[in-house]
């Protein structure tokens, strides 16, 4: 088996048969397989995939339950094969599958280690993107190049191919979150893979709709942070601290608003509750978006975080007082207490509120 083409799918039932037909037309009778990795799409994509596979042994499907994410699905597909080379392609026919043989040839002849379909080089075009999406994509490209030093004209491309052994070597350090698996690969490989670019025209989506949304943008920022800090600090903690810093502003604003009519202690208590509430909802939307709480779990989660973070304030105070008593200068002891509180709050949020596995 020379090549495994992986197509992650979420609600692509109207596209999988056509993709399979086109990939077969492009790659010929044998030496390849096409693997759809479906996150249990409500539109029954996997049923269509099983039907195609029943008549064509070159096509198979992986069904993932209780998980979502393009990068994770692509990784899982690429790790499921014994083929020498692995490729990722969108299932909605936006990528140009006729490039697959040329990309494969670049790898097999040893000319390159990573073959990338690009919209932003001579001969490429991003025709299938709206104006807003195109400028967003260009901005993200510039940001990624600057921050990560990735030398690709289109690091946001979802269309690429590499040798399976290279992928397997890099896989433990790749993030399953978000859309940007190629950027992650290139940044993690740190220039060790020789790149060949293949310009193509990004087509308009066939059936169905795009899954790109605000979460995908947050995942992208998280990936940039992770790679820019060389994976030194967990990205989740960075988001948690940013949310916490914003919570401090909420606390100040609430304090100023309440102070007019109340005693200092009452105003401060109200401000702390306001800050914890804001932090809870922001963390639920951003930091813990992959296990976002909803409905009843949202209410219990909020109550739990009041209790847990209340204890965090006690820990903060205890550490600061202890260090100050041990002779540390006041501001230093105070910051150390704050740090202690932040780490405590993060730990209990992970363990008891959002229960990260």
Binding mask 176-205 for Mn ion (x = CB under 5 A): -----------------------------x
Tokens representing residue 38 in the block: 């479906």
Minimum Å distance from CB 11 to ligand GDD?
6
324: three-class secondary structure by DSSP: helix
Please report, for residues 118, 224, 237, 323, the alpha-carbon distance to residue 142 in angstroms, rounded to integers and kept in the order given: 14, 12, 25, 45
Task: Check binding of 11 to Mn ion (CB under 5 A).
Answer: no
* Binds Mn ion by CB under 5 A, chosen from 94, 188, 215, 305: 94
**CA atoms within 13 A of residue 35's CA, in its CB half-sphere:** 24
Minimum Å distance from CB 272 to ligand GDD?
37
Minimum Å distance from CB 314 to ligand GDD?
40
User: Which listed option, ligand GDD, Mn ion, none, makes contact with residue 160 (CB within 5 to 8 Å by class)?
Assistant: none
User: Which listed option, ligand GDD, Mn ion, none, makes contact with residue 38 (CB within 5 to 8 Å by class)?
Assistant: ligand GDD
The residue (of 179 and 240) whose beta carbon lies closer to ligand GDD is 179
Indicate the residue whose CB is closest to ligand GDD. 158
Whole-number Å distance between alpha carbons of 107 and 112: 5
Q: Which residues bind ligand GDD (CB under 6 A)?
A: 8-10, 12, 37-39, 68-70, 73, 90-92, 94, 156-159, 179, 202, 205, 210-212
Residue 153 CB neighbours (<10 A): 17
Minimum Å distance from CB 348 to Mn ion?
39
Residue 172 CB neighbours (<10 A): 7
Please report, for residues 141, 313, 349, the alpha-carbon distance to residue 308 in angstroms, rounded to integers and kept in the order given: 40, 9, 8
């Amino acid at each position: 088996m020379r090549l495994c083409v992986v197509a992650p799918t979420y609600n692509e039932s109207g596209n999988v048969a056509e993709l399979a037909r086109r990939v077969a037309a492009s790659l010929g009778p044998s030496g390849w397989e096409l693997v759809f990795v479906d996150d249990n799409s409500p539109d029954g994509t996997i049923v269509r995939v099983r039907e195609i596979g029943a008549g064509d042994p070159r096509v198979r499907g992986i069904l993932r339950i209780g998980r979502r994410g393009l990068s994770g699905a692509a990784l899982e597909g690429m790790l499921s094969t014994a083929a020498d080379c692995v490729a990722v392609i969108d299932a909605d026919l936006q990528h140009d599958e006729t490039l697959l043989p040329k990309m494969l040839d670049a790898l097999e002849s040893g000319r390159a280690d990573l073959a990338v379909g690009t919209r932003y080089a001579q001969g490429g075009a991003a025709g299938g993107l709206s104006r807003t999406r195109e400028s967003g994509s260009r901005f993200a490209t510039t940001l990624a190049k600057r921050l990560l030093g990735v030398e690709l004209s289109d690091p946001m491309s979802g269309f690429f191919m590499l040798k399976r052994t290279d992928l397997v070597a890099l896989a433990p350090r790749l993030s399953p979150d978000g859309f940007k698996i190629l950027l992650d690969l290139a940044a993690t490989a740190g220039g060790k893979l020789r790149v060949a670019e293949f310009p193509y025209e990004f087509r308009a989506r066939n059936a169905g709709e795009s899954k790109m949304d605000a979460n995908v943008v947050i995942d992208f920022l998280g990936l940039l942070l992770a790679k820019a800090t060389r994976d030194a600090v967990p990205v989740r903690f960075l988001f948690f601290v940013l949310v916490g810093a914003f919570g401090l502003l909420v606390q100040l604003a609430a304090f100023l608003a309440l102070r007019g009519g109340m005693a200092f202690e009452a105003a401060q208590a109200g401000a702390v509750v306001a800050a914890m509430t804001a932090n809870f909802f922001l963390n639920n939307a951003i930091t813990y978006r992959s296990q976002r709480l909803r409905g009843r779990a949202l209410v219990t989660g909020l109550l739990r975080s009041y209790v847990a973070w209340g204890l965090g304030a006690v820990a903060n105070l205890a550490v600061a007082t202890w260090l100050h008593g041990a002779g540390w200068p006041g501001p230093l002891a105070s910051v150390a207490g704050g740090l202690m509180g932040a780490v405590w709050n993060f730990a209990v949020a992970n363990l008891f509120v959002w229960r990260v596995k």
